[in-house]
A = this chain, B = another copy of it.
């Protein structure tokens, strides 16, 4: 496995890869969810490129950029074991040099949900992903369904800007008790870790109602609210039952919908979602 930092090194290493390239962009501190993306890319492409970059422009001023967990040696070992061919680990100075002033912004899809709570977040995401796409030049790029709005926004950006890249969204990987895998789970103390299963429980309760025939979006949201409110360590930030493509809130679930929520467990903010319909 080849690990590079400078952009010219990346470009040279990329040129040496013949055939199709799958790309897995990450912020590091990898877990099995990330590795499942690498495995999906391995199965579909001749080569796999991963990037590790904690992107400062997608963190708000009061968010967890400084304490975001990092462990590069472990990440590289995991990527090598998974079979990645090339890992790019650029620095902030490489990605945002002095004079940087260009931004990529998706408008409508970024307004609700995470976009409403985290102003500027998706502008940071789309800008860095556009840069990574241009630098790596992959045929396919892999994202997790766990960040559902991010996946929708990146699909939209890729289509709107005509990137010649297929976006592949892979299923959320979960711990044995249902908690969605996330680098941020490391922030949880044992009691919070236990309480954090409430996101999965709440989604499961709503999904169960949906499977039993409930189509009222507000009924499904109410079930999520009720489940989360029963957990003393958890505080619901939002619950949404929205159209899968437009992310507009629904009254009635008639086709593919995204049921999603954001919850504070202690001081740690967690998100999760189920696709229904």
Contact = CB atoms under 8 A, between A and B. Distances in A.
A7 interface: yes
Copies per complex? 2
A265 B257 CA distance: 56
Interface string A78-111: 0000000000000000000001111111111100
A134 B164 contact: yes
Contacts of A160: 100-102, 131
Contacts of A162: 7, 131, 134-135
Interface string A153-195: 0001100111110000000000000000000000000000000
A83 B163 CA distance: 27
A137 interface: yes
Nearest to A102: B160
A137 B139 CA distance: 13
Interface in A35-93: none
Interface of A: 7, 11, 99-109, 126-127, 130-131, 134-135, 137, 156-157, 160-164
B101 A131 contact: no
Given A130-B161, A162-B7, A103 B101 contact: no
7 contacts: A99-B156, A100-B160, A103-B105, A103-B107, A104-B105, A104-B161, A134-B162
A202 B92 CA distance: 45
A109 B103 CA distance: 13
Given A7-B162, A130-B130, A130-B161, 16 more contacts: A99-B156, A100-B160, A101-B106, A101-B107, A101-B109, A101-B156, A102-B104, A102-B105, A103-B104, A103-B105, A104-B104, A104-B105, A104-B130, A105-B105, A131-B162, A134-B163
A4 to B, nearest CB: 14
A154 to B, nearest CB: 10
Given A101-B108, A102-B104, A131 B164 contact: no
